Structure 1
Amino acid sequence: MPRNPRIEYGGAVYHVMSRGNRQEEIFRDDTDRELFLQTLTEVCAKTGWVIHAYVLMDNHYHILLETPEPNLVFGMKWFQGTYTQRFNARNRVLESLPRGAPEKKALVWYILSKTTVSNDWLSQYLFCGHPSNIPLCINAVKDKKSKVLNRLVAKLLKCEG
């Protein structure tokens, strides 16, 4: 059965998630995580993506991102391929890391639920500019013009308050 067509449009917000093959680790240490974030920074520069939140687990990741242009498929192909090549070169591995195409959903809460996980690689641990119990992704997007994000932020702030 063929895959459903990808939903891509400018200004879309996506939850992107991908696991390692056979649930294997895609991050063996903090250097791998830093390499992943460096590669994520590069794909953002290439595509114009805006990252609102992320969490890096040992065998998978979640990213909440916004695409100003309809370029999610192009960007994910470059991002996953490039990170896999770099990981393999560093760790002397000869296979692909994330299995298949990453799961993508247009706007979800799921990544924000991961902020309760005890994990040092959550985007919410970045400095927000002021003390806050609100995850970084909310502080980062609350002034944006995206109606969808503003509704999400309002709901989350209501839950947090």
Structure 2
Amino acid sequence: MPRSARVKSFDSVYHIMVRSISDTPLYKCSADKDMYLRLVEKYKGQFFFKVYAYCIMDTHAHMIIDCNGADIS
């Protein structure tokens, strides 16, 4: 059964998770994690979302974001 469609709202805060397949390291070193954060900063400026918190581990990352009404898909 497919998951339910995401309910979109202008004032919602979302938990976003990015993960690799089968626990393969997604970020192999600190430089990879730094590059990911630089990309997040770049796209924050382009799409005007806010990041309230994040946690980056070797195989996955979590973010709490406010998308300011933008589509997060």
Tell whether the structures are fold-level matches, with TM greater than 0.5: yes
Q: Which amino acid aligns with 2:6?
A: R
Work out the CA distance in 2 between the residues paired with 1:63 and 1:13. Answer: 10
SS of 2:37's partner is: helix
Q: Which runs of structure 2 are paired with 1:67-82 in the superposition (5 Å)?
A: 67-73=67-73
Which consecutive segments of 4 or more residues in structure 1 shift more than 6 A? none
Q: Which AA in structure 2 matches 1:17?
A: M
Aligned to 2:6: 6
Q: Deviations over 1:106-150 (max 9, x none)?
A: xxxxxxxxxxxxxxxxxxxxxxxxxxxxxxxxxxxxxxxxxxxxx
Secondary structure, in 3 states, of the residue corresponding to 1:72? Answer: coil
Between structures 1 and 2, the one with greater strand share: 2
Structure number having the greater helix percentage: 1
2:65 corresponds to which letter in structure 1?
A: L
Write the distance in 2 (CA, Å) between the matches of 1:70 and 1:49: 8
Rg: which structure is higher? Answer: 1
Select the structure with the greater relative contact order (CA < 8 A; seq sep ≥ 6). 2
Instruction: Give CA deviations for 1:81-130 in whole Å, capped at 9, x if unaligned.
Output: xxxxxxxxxxxxxxxxxxxxxxxxxxxxxxxxxxxxxxxxxxxxxxxxxx
TM-score, normalising length from structure 1?
0.43
Output the CA distance in 1 between the equivalents of 2:47 and 2:15: 16
2:57 corresponds to 1:35? no
Q: 2:65 aligns to what?
A: 65
Point out where structure 1 has 5 or more consecutive residues left out of the alignment.
Answer: 74-161
Q: Deviations over 1:25-50 (max 9, x none)?
A: 11101110111001111221121110
Give me the CA root mean square deviation.
Answer: 1.2
- The answer to whether structure 1 residue 18 and structure 2 residue 18 are counterparts is yes
What one-letter code is carried by the residue in structure 2 that aligns with 1:39? L
Read off the aligned partner of 1:5 and give its amino acid letter.
Answer: A
Q: What's the counterpart of residue 55 of structure 1?
A: 55
